[in-house]
A and B are shown apart, each in its own frame.
Chain A
């Protein structure tokens, strides 16, 4: 394991487990509030800029021209390589599946996408940033699926402001109650086809609109960071700091306080617990390079390892006092696990814009926010869905499958191809007890730890939502006289949205939830979980901005409690 600060052997005020989106935020907020913090990352160090090995490598200098080694992908990356951000360039930002096994079910294999390195999935995330509204925070209470969130939008609004101000979010002000506006940098632009699509939707429908996505890809510089350069190769790492990642944003802020100690290559095996005081006292780690054990101690612990790993860590930390897992007196730890049901509803060819194209690679989608069950109710459907997608002009890849040879073929392939529109639907996933994360003690990982097992299946409501989304997508694309090239109402494999949520849900009642309104475990007051595991419902928006806001809010609470002696 590698220590990256001077205060090597000291105990800490706080330990943060995981250095991804929420871990970076916890480290930043806690250090800036005066706490001496240890940030523990299981993977290797990847420094901003110098660590982005393939960032600027052209395809002709890649071993497989960017398409990737199919044999290596099949043997070592069978799950990761199916993700949209996995490429030959970005492969080192994803785990090796062979070396990091987990269990799932044959009928519904869960695609667990992971990045075990400094920065975690903050390097490879989709960068879409959406506030949740009271439509989302009150949904469980309204229809009875899941437990009521212990917070509402008003509790989180100042923290959304805080996060957006810091990370830089580009977007447009829309005044939509179901998708609250935030503090935005100027929006990225819709291209000519997307704008025409927007106009035709606006002329036809009163209940919906097409907008540009709200993205952590910046349109204005921030200190130490340069605005997005429209490369759309974010998952390789961005030396400009054009999008939010731990490396570009929160880690420099935490380091600047002088109160951060960073340890990489250190897997947290379990939490150390003192049953007499009912407190966690530290973390037991395994050096992933030489397997040496070590214990770090602190006043408080923040779990930010990603939903599945934070749950697994709590389960692995079971002891005589808490035999079902740490902070699991409710028995719901690991249950009510969710991921958006994602279907690539429609791709369609759009005529009439042959004389138009665009320049640059915009790394941000168009969005059609949720419009069902907003003002009124849609029969037979709970919650909602939203679309993300884009209009692009096909290029040389359209030449594959063309007849012909030689100069004529070269001429044809070298010119602009068809315009196509893609609309993918993200449907809200209801929290159900049978979707869960457990430990499989019969199968061990290379460190001797029980493997994580994920059991997950989409339900009828998710499928009905996606069927509705397909119908509506086709109706909207008819406004463009589009030719449907492909369509589906089937959700992709579970995990494909990479929006794992729940498993250590927030709630008002300690008998039915793991965390309180401050992401503090009901059972252990100095233990916090602020990643996606905390979510009590899934909404249909991308959740990462909410994770960040919850983390910042919980860190402020914890630091204040510690300073006042309440913790």
Chain B
């Protein structure tokens, strides 16, 4: 499935732009429509005890994808494919991500916002996440750290997505040659598929 969120919310502001309450509600409805494609359980938050599975956090993840890696000259990370990857990664414990990562992150963001984070207007969401990022990275990381893990998974999703790999960076399946010394200038882009250089050598959870 190649359902890209930008197909649905094309031209709609995400992170870094102002969005009024009406637009936010409209966008929320459209996102909800798109999310009909994810398991129904993910839309049932509030039914009984809070489930600690990431399937309940589709909207949260989609918002965070767009905030961490926004659209610029190249597309950002806010796509359905990337959302699905992050949810799957947490649910399956990729790179030891705890299964309650997103539930705990949502609690942290709600606490910082003093309200339900996903219901805030976009500019306020961005303020909250920026503040949370600063609070987390201003001190040594102690795992489990839901924000560190989620942010890492967002980057992993983006740079392995078609847009992140082949538009933001360079993806060359068959380079055909090895140039041992090329200058790094404004036009140079790293190979996103430099399999030796880009292996993840640090813990994310």
Asked whether A356 lies within 8 Å of B93 as measured between CB atoms, the reply is no
Asked whether B93 lies within 8 Å of A393 as measured between CB atoms, the reply is no
Q: Mark B166-205, 1 if CB is under 8 A from A, else 0.
A: 0011011111111111111000111111111111111010
B152 at the interface (CB under 8 A from A): yes
A395's partner among B88, B94, B180, B198 (CB-CB below 8 A) is B198
Asked whether B130 lies within 8 Å of A405 as measured between CB atoms, the reply is yes
Q: Mark B90-120, 1 if CB is under 8 A from A, else 0.
A: 0011111000000000000000000000000
Asked whether B15 lies within 8 Å of A59 as measured between CB atoms, the reply is no
List residues 30-67 of chain B with CB under 8 A from any CB of chain A: 67
Asked whether A58 lies within 8 Å of B171 as measured between CB atoms, the reply is yes
B178's partner among A69, A230, A406 (CB-CB below 8 A) is A230
Knowing A59-B160, A65-B156, A69-B92 are in contact, say whether A359-B70 is a contact too (CB < 8 A).
no
B142 at the interface (CB under 8 A from A): no
Asked whether A356 lies within 8 Å of B72 as measured between CB atoms, the reply is no
Give chain B nearest CB distance to A87 CB in angstroms: 9
Asked whether A231 lies within 8 Å of B175 as measured between CB atoms, the reply is yes
Asked whether B179 lies within 8 Å of A231 as measured between CB atoms, the reply is no
Question: Which residue of chain A has the shortest Cβ distance to B183 in the bound complex?
Answer: A355
Give chain B nearest CB distance to A331 CB in angstroms: 45
A416 at the interface (CB under 8 A from B): yes
Knowing A59-B165, A190-B180 are in contact, say whether A361-B175 is a contact too (CB < 8 A).
yes
B20 at the interface (CB under 8 A from A): no
Give chain B nearest CB distance to A109 CB in angstroms: 20
Asked whether B160 lies within 8 Å of A70 as measured between CB atoms, the reply is no
* A69 partner residues in chain B, CB cutoff 8 A: 92
Knowing A60-B165, A71-B92 are in contact, say whether A396-B155 is a contact too (CB < 8 A).
yes
Question: Which residue of chain B has the shortest Cβ distance to A189 in the bound complex?
Answer: B180
A64–B87 CA distance with the chains assembled, in angstroms:
11
B6 at the interface (CB under 8 A from A): no
A417–B155 CA distance with the chains assembled, in angstroms:
15
Knowing A70-B93, A70-B95, A400-B155 are in contact, say whether A60-B194 is a contact too (CB < 8 A).
no
A358's partner among B68, B93, B179, B201 (CB-CB below 8 A) is B179
* B126 partner residues in chain A, CB cutoff 8 A: 405-406
Asked whether A394 lies within 8 Å of B182 as measured between CB atoms, the reply is no
A233 at the interface (CB under 8 A from B): yes
Knowing A60-B161, A395-B169, A401-B202 are in contact, say whether A191-B180 is a contact too (CB < 8 A).
yes
* A233 partner residues in chain B, CB cutoff 8 A: 195
A200–B94 CA distance with the chains assembled, in angstroms:
41
Comparing A117-125, A177-185, A268-276, A407-415, the segment that makes contact with chain B is A407-415
* B174 partner residues in chain A, CB cutoff 8 A: 229-231
B182's partner among A232, A356, A397, A415 (CB-CB below 8 A) is A356
A222–B205 CA distance with the chains assembled, in angstroms:
47
List residues 356-407 of chain A with CB under 8 A from any CB of chain B: 356-362, 390, 392-397, 399-401, 403-407
* A407 partner residues in chain B, CB cutoff 8 A: 16, 70, 72
Asked whether A406 lies within 8 Å of B95 as measured between CB atoms, the reply is no
A141 at the interface (CB under 8 A from B): no
B5 at the interface (CB under 8 A from A): no
Asked whether B85 lies within 8 Å of A392 as measured between CB atoms, the reply is no
Asked whether A65 lies within 8 Å of B179 as measured between CB atoms, the reply is no
Q: Mark A52-85, 1 if CB is under 8 A from B, else 0.
A: 0000101110001111011100000000000000
List residues 69-98 of chain B with CB under 8 A from any CB of chain A: 69-70, 72, 76, 81, 85, 88-89, 92-96
* A394 partner residues in chain B, CB cutoff 8 A: 197-198
Question: Which residue of chain A has the shortest Cβ distance to B178 in the bound complex?
Answer: A360
B194's partner among A66, A395, A406, A415 (CB-CB below 8 A) is A395
* A358 partner residues in chain B, CB cutoff 8 A: 178-182
B129 at the interface (CB under 8 A from A): yes
List residues 140-179 of chain A with CB under 8 A from any CB of chain B: none
Asked whether B160 lies within 8 Å of A415 as measured between CB atoms, the reply is no
B162 at the interface (CB under 8 A from A): yes
Give chain B nearest CB distance to A421 CB in angstroms: 12
Asked whether B157 lies within 8 Å of A361 as measured between CB atoms, the reply is no
B201's partner among A232, A397, A415 (CB-CB below 8 A) is A397
Give chain A nearest CB distance to B161 CB in angstroms: 5
Asked whether B160 lies within 8 Å of A400 as measured between CB atoms, the reply is no
Question: Which residue of chain A has the shortest Cβ distance to B91 in the bound complex?
Answer: A71
A221 at the interface (CB under 8 A from B): no
A414–B166 CA distance with the chains assembled, in angstroms:
12
A136–B92 CA distance with the chains assembled, in angstroms:
47
Across the A-B interface, the 10 shortest Cβ-Cβ residue pairs: A403-B137, A360-B178, A392-B197, A192-B181, A65-B160, A360-B175, A59-B160, A359-B179, A395-B190, A191-B180
* 15 A–B pairs (Cβ distance < 8 Å), ordered by A: A56-B173, A64-B92, A65-B156, A192-B180, A230-B178, A356-B183, A357-B182, A360-B177, A362-B178, A395-B197, A396-B190, A403-B133, A410-B69, A413-B159, A416-B190
Q: Could you list which residues of chain A lie within 8 angstroms of chain B, going by C-beta atoms? A: 56, 58-60, 64-67, 69-71, 188-192, 194-195, 229-233, 347, 354-362, 390, 392-397, 399-401, 403-407, 409-410, 413-417
